[in-house]
Amino acid sequence: MKVLNLASTKNHISKYEDDKNNPTVWEIGCLDEMAAAIIDDMSTEYEIDKNAPETARAKTTFNYNKKNFDILRLGLKGFQNLIHPETGKEVKFETVATARFGKSRNVVSDSILMVIPRKVRDELAEEIKKLSGLSEEQEKN
């Protein structure tokens, strides 16, 4: 029942990992339906000019990076061997309570997200999205 268990996780090693002998192992999980829906809603904003609604003067904002941060907040469940780039010490996994995603949850703290390099954050967010959705092949089956 692993595919259905919200608590089940998968270990992932980044393709950008420098230390192949002692890599950081990221523990990721899938998103629940409520969180996925809220993140999707927050990722794109569309605003029309209220003084000229018929015109094309609309503003669209794609919050790609913000979306990836949110996906990581919810989908990153732990890690091993993450070394702080400034202190050289191992980072301890921490969560904080929040009510941002539809209900009270424990999510990864911002201080930890800021330690993760951007390209690794983007990669992890993609992996979490893959875990949370069905591939075309899975849909067909």
Question: How many residues of this chain bind another protein (CB under 8 A)?
Answer: 23
Integer CA distances (angstroms), 105 to 35, 98, 99, in order: 10, 5, 6
Which amino acid is it at 91? V
Q: Give the DSSP letter of residue 91.
A: P
CA 133 remoteness from chain centre: 13
Position 113 contacts another protein (CB under 8 A):
no
Closer to another protein at the Cβ: 19 or 137? 137
**Segment 28-87, which members bind another protein (CB under 8 A)?**
30-37
Dihedral sign computed on CA atoms, order 103, 82, 29, 66: positive
Helix (H) / strand (E) containing 37: helix 33-43
Q: Sketch the per residue contact string, 2 through 31, with another protein: x for CB under 8 A, - otherwise.
A: xxxxxx----------------------xx
Residue number, 35 or 116, with CB nearest to another protein: 35
Question: Under the rule (CB under 8 A), what is the footprint of another protein?
Answer: 1-7, 30-37, 102, 131-134, 138-139, 141
